[in-house]
Structure 1
Amino acid sequence: MHSPSGDNNVTDTAAQDADLNAEALAYHAEPTPGKIATEITKPASTQHQLALAYTPGVAEPVRRIHADPADAYRYTNKGNLVAVITDGTAVLGLGNVGSLAGKPVMEGKAVLFKRFAGIDCFDIEVNADSPDDFIDTVARIAPTFGGINLEDIAAPHCFDIERRLIERLDIPVFHDDQHGTAIIIAAGLLNALELQGKTLQDAKIVILGAGAAGIAAIHLLISLGARLENIFTLDRKGVIHPGRDDLNTFKAEIANATDKRTLADAMRDADVFIGVSGPDLVSDAMLASMAPKPIVFALSNPIPEIRPTQAFKVRDDLIMATGRSDYPNQVNNVLGFPFIFRGALDVRASRINQAMQIAAVEALRSIARESVPDEVLKAYELEALEFGPDYIIPKPFDPRLRERVPQAVAHAAIDSGVAAMS
């Protein structure tokens, strides 16, 4: 498909991308390569201070931790340290580029953890020939950390890797590409449905993309009240239905016994479209065939499944979200993972369970329904912003995220019995 603004727009976009790429390379290379570093948190400028920091002073906390492993949270940085770990098999939209090429993304994730939630991170890139090797590596280094953020791991291995690590470890393990994306989708969708006068229980939902994000979103939406018989999921071969003989376990669980086979079939009379797939896959005709007051989350990045400028020419009764920051309603994982981990770490949760995820959803959607602080308007150079079709989820720089989401997650951890502290 062509950009609705014509060939000149495509040329301008290519030039802008080239400029941004050059700027990004300079940003990563200068004045010091990379985006993160370590810092010393205790004074170490005298002989006595060095004696406390290392030998002989360090021996006493070693003895205490040996006697009681929980003391690692008191005498080391474990309780505020998260590992951001990848095998490089699904990096951004670039695919299996290898673990080392994924390092800039892992460093970027560490920046977001620190900037938004004050959480320290080590980025770890693992060369692993199999999921078993990856799991074993992560499990062996886990004592260092208070939590594990899995990142950019291809489906379907990502599902099994996360499940087995959760079962094996006593600290939170969270695959953000699955649950982080699902949480932000759910928060925005619940608000959009309300604005459109619809309910999650009755909504007919099309999900294009049956990878980590798509499948996790389905499970979370069902836990919130959606019905599987109303959810039509598509992969590269079309609608996922029980009659197919090529479904893995994870796709079989979300198969819909329907006679719909194509995206065009599924979009007809649908209330919601959620795209976690690729660029320009939704046509004008497909959008036009949706039910009145449709909701479209076209989350492919940088080019969505259908572009907002195109979509609003077809439908003026639409609520739309994308993964981009230059359009309203950006579905951005930074709204979730820093604050979810902050809440989990604050109460030493052993896992991030479904109750904690739902608590994050409810906290996020409630923030968007309240008056927007002046500092948010200033950060985005806006005169006004209020709950409505162009504002269904909070902005990443909203200070209420740091206040409210961790608190909600921590309370859910305590109430569901996975917290070591109250």
Structure 2
Amino acid sequence: MTKGAFTPNAGDSIIVRLKIEGQTQGLSQVTSRIAELNGHIGAIDLVRPLSGWASIRDFSIYTSGADHGEEIVAALKKVKGVEVIHFSDRTFLMHLGGKIEVTSRQTLKTRDDLSMAYTPGVGRVCTAIHQNPEEVYKLTIKRNTVAIVTDGTAVLGLGNIGPQAAMPVMEGKAMLFKEFAGIDAFPICLDAKNADEVVAAVRAIAPGFGGINLEDIAAPHCFEIEKRLQEELDIPVFHDDQHGTAVVVSSALINSLKLLGKKPEDIKVVVLGAGAAGTACTKMIKQLKVDNIIACDRKGAIHKSRDDLNEAKQWFADNTNPDGLKGSLQEVIAGADVFLGVSGPRQLSVEDIKKMAKDPVV
């Protein structure tokens, strides 16, 4: 990639509303200036024409980040015959007011509708469920509702940012449930200080949900929370950061090895990240008969000689790295067939990949 080049991504895009004097020259000046600053124009929409060949237009521009977007806007303000009316971050626009809402499946247009949906008719339905608790799955939303539960301690690559800051991610996950599976999901963001508080809160709300999706809860207490909830609740409990990631990674690995003609028992896998995702991925990969797995954390390879491991990382020391390799990621990556990154960004360089085996999978 040349300097300033990037892969366009709607997540880093802006929309700029401009008043442009002179239809041809003004428009060409704007597009040229954006191109000079390595902005990618996604769309140009006419808002309305003005007298004298002037116009107001919206420019959707892909940028490399917030600073790049501000640089483009500042440059457009200096273009002669162009007025920047306003500009917005398209991603923030999508999040205004939140991304999800509760809607009714039944309409309330008459007094009869109200009498059946609410009191007095609803009391008969409550009695039916009380007499036969299994009826809750037929007569309420429980059968199609999932709680997306987080404490905000391990959100994306942002770390421990708290339950309120985690809300946009949980709303996004709720959208995925609804749009791709038709399941109603709702964010439950807990201000909890430990595993006991999370377990107690989820146990208390569980009667209203058909399943629990644990999300962005830091290791190692995420393992305890999942285990205890699976033992205590009578509904499915799924930790997306563990099992969702592991399923996708395992299927990708199976297909990659088929394509390359390699056998699971013959490959070397390096896993960067020993948190929830790294642990679950490693456990599932081992079930594919992959034995030579080396996990790395911030201090390098995890091995039995290290004395700074918590319970979760001790599992890696006991069950992976059969040759007892020591050293940094850059050292143990040599000869690896597969690199699995479940940590932060920009950890693997081109030089690292060159050290890997032929036809590496990253």
Query: Identity of counterpart residues, as a percentage?
Result: 49
Report the counterpart of residue 28 of structure 1 in structure 2.
95
Alignment root-mean-square deviation, CA: 1.9
Report the counterpart of residue 130 of structure 1 in structure 2.
194
Q: Secondary structure at the match of 1:162?
A: helix
Residue type matched to 1:164 in 2? Answer: R
Query: Which structure dedicates a bigger proportion of its chain to strand?
Result: 2
Q: Is the deviation greater in 127-136 or in 17-26?
A: 17-26
Report the counterpart of residue 360 of structure 2 in structure 1.
294
Residue type matched to 1:239 in 2? Answer: A
Q: Is the deviation greater in 173-182 or in 282-291?
A: 282-291
Q: Secondary structure at the match of 1:194?
A: helix
Deviation at 1:153, TM superposition (A): 0.8
Aligned match of 1:249 in 311, 314, 319? 311
Aligned match of 1:174 in 238, 242, 245? 238
Report the counterpart of residue 120 of structure 2 in structure 1.
56
Alignment check: 8 A CA contact 2:302 2:326 kept: no
Distance 1:137 1:9, change over 3 A: closer
Report the counterpart of residue 223 of structure 1 in structure 2.
287
Unaligned runs of 5+ in 1: 297-422
Residue type matched to 1:174 in 2? Answer: F
Unaligned runs of 5+ in 2: 8-36, 40-61, 71-87
Aligned match of 2:328 in 249, 258, 262? 262
CA offset digits 1:175-200 (Å, max 9, x no partner): 10111011111111110111111122
Aligned match of 2:64 in 5, 9, 16? 16
Q: Secondary structure at the match of 1:295?
A: coil
* Cα distance in structure 1, aligned partners of 2:354 and 2:340: 16
TM (normalized to structure 1)? 0.65
Report the counterpart of residue 78 of structure 2 in structure 1.
none
Q: Secondary structure at the match of 2:327?
A: coil
Does residue 274 of the first structure (1) align with residue 340 of the second (2)? yes
Q: Is the deviation greater in 70-79 or in 7-16?
A: 7-16
Deviation at 1:214, TM superposition (A): 0.7
Aligned match of 1:183 in 247, 250, 263? 247
Alignment check: 8 A CA contact 2:6 2:64 kept: no
Does residue 236 of the first structure (1) align with residue 302 of the second (2)? no
TM (normalized to structure 2)? 0.76
Number of matched residues? Answer: 288
Q: Secondary structure at the match of 2:120?
A: coil
* Cα distance in structure 2, aligned partners of 1:121 and 1:283: 39
Deviation at 1:283, TM superposition (A): 2.6
Q: Secondary structure at the match of 1:123?
A: strand
* Cα distance in structure 2, aligned partners of 1:202 and 1:109: 37
Deviation at 1:28, TM superposition (A): 1.1
Deviation at 1:239, TM superposition (A): 0.4
Q: Secondary structure at the match of 1:291?
A: coil
Residue type matched to 2:259 in 1? Answer: L
* Cα distance in structure 1, aligned partners of 2:2 and 2:222: 39
Residue type matched to 1:141 in 2? Answer: I
Deviation at 1:102, TM superposition (A): 0.7
* Cα distance in structure 1, aligned partners of 2:38 and 2:275: 32
Deviation at 1:290, TM superposition (A): 1.1
Does residue 110 of the first structure (1) align with residue 174 of the second (2)? yes
Q: Secondary structure at the match of 2:282?
A: helix
Aligned match of 1:89 in 129, 153, 157? 153
Distance 1:266 1:66, change over 3 A: same
Report the counterpart of residue 376 of structure 1 in structure 2.
none
Deviation at 1:36, TM superposition (A): 0.7
Does residue 155 of the first structure (1) align with residue 203 of the second (2)? no
* Cα distance in structure 2, aligned partners of 1:277 and 1:26: 29
Residue type matched to 2:222 in 1? Answer: C
- The runs of at least 4 aligned residues of structure 1 exceeding 3 Å deviation read 7-16
Alignment check: 8 A CA contact 2:325 2:332 kept: no
CA offset digits 1:227-246 (Å, max 9, x no partner): 2xx00000001100011111
Does residue 5 of the first structure (1) align with residue 2 of the second (2)? yes
Q: Which has the larger radius of gyration?
A: 2
Q: Secondary structure at the match of 1:231?
A: strand
Q: Secondary structure at the match of 2:89?
A: helix
User: Does 1 or 2 have the higher relative contact order (CA < 8 Å, sep 6+)?
Assistant: 1
Alignment check: 8 A CA contact 2:99 2:171 kept: yes
CA offset digits 1:265-291 (Å, max 9, x no partner): 221111111111122222333211211
